[in-house]
């Protein structure tokens, strides 16, 4: 299998989100998402935070070695200490401070391409520090891509005409979920990539048939909250 250029995957992930939100009406941006309590505009504001975090991390290279990779990074999420709920509430209040939801789209359109350019210019042999961890640059970009793809799927339930995430970006997110599965687990063959991502992240519950096919590995789900 051809190695994935993580900067290209991130570009594809962010470009696809831009395609979802550009030219949306304020009413569209106030539709619900799969993230409890968040509207489309709220979730997009959260994604802007990821793009800004990328800009900061990539502009401030860290000393190695890495303490996590693109898979083990996720094993600490969710934290379960209340920080996630506080962040969700902060995002809602911050997004509500914009005069109109379309203002959040304009900020995304400025920030996401800048993050993509920084990713393309970063040394792939380098390291960055983010959220208390040190990662290799390609692994860091893979975490951003995985989050973007999952949240792309979160954005679109009430936007039926929205384009899907790009295939290269989806490959990165699927590889992350495969890595989070136990070594003995084999995901059900009937699942396509989108179903796998939705079930692996708890967006869609496992069916009885899923549990039968997964066996003991069903207890690992959701792989990522």
ω into 78 cis (within 30 of 0): yes
State which residues form the domain around 19: 6-180
Q: How many domains does the chain have?
A: 1
DSSP H helices, 60-123, are: 83-96, 102-121
In sequence order, what DSSP letters do the residues of 113-128 get, joined into one string?
HHHHHHHHHS-TT-EE
CA dist 36 and 39 (Å) reads: 9
Would residue 130 count as lying in a domain?
Answer: yes
Would residue 174 count as lying in a domain?
Answer: yes
Per-residue pLDDT tens, the chain, 225 aa: give them: 457 899 999 999 999 999 999 999 999 999 999 999 999 999 999 999 999 999 999 999 999 899 999 999 999 776 555 677 888 899 999 999 999 999 999 999 999 999 999 999 999 999 999 999 999 999 999 999 999 999 999 999 999 899 999 999 999 999 999 999 977 788 898 999 999 999 999 999 999 999 999 999 999 999 987
CA dist 141 and 70 (Å) reads: 8
Would residue 217 count as lying in a domain?
Answer: no
Encoding tokens for residue 208?
Answer: 């009885």
Phi, psi values for residue 147, rounded to 5°? -65, -40
Would residue 220 count as lying in a domain?
Answer: no
Q: Do residues 56 and 140 touch, judged by C-beta distance below 8 A?
A: no
Give the global pTM.
Answer: 0.95
Encoding tokens for residue 33?
Answer: 């998402």
CATH of the domain at 58: 1.20.120.450
Count CB neighbours of 65 within 10 A. 7
Would residue 190 count as lying in a domain?
Answer: no
Would residue 191 count as lying in a domain?
Answer: no
Would residue 35 count as lying in a domain?
Answer: yes
Would residue 73 count as lying in a domain?
Answer: yes
């Amino acid at each position: 299998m051809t190695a994935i250029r993580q900067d290209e995957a991130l570009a594809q992930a962010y470009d696809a989100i831009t395609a979802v939100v550009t030219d949306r009406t304020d009413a569209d941006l106030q539709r619900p998402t799969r993230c409890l309590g968040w509207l489309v505009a709220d979730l997009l504001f959260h994604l802007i935070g990821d793009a800004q975090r990328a800009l900061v991390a990539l502009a401030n290279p860290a000393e190695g070695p890495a303490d996590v990779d693109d898979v083990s990074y996720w094993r600490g999420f969710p934290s379960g200490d209340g920080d996630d709920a506080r962040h969700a509430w902060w995002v809602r209040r911050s997004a509500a401070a914009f005069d109109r939801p379309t203002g959040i789209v304009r900020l995304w359109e400025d920030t996401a391409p800048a993050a993509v350019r920084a990713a393309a210019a970063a040394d792939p042999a380098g390291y960055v520090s983010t959220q208390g961890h040190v990662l290799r640059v390609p692994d860091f970009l893979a975490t951003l891509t995985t989050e973007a793809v999952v949240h792309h799927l979160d954005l679109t339930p009430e936007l039926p005409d929205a384009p899907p995430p790009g295939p290269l970006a989806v490959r990165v997110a699927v590889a992350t979920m495969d890595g989070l599965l136990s070594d003995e687990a084999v995901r059900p063959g009937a699942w396509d990539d989108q179903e796998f991502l939705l079930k692996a992240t708890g967006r869609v519950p496992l069916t009885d048939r899923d549990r039968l096919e997964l066996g003991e590995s069903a207890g690992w789900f959701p792989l990522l909250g």
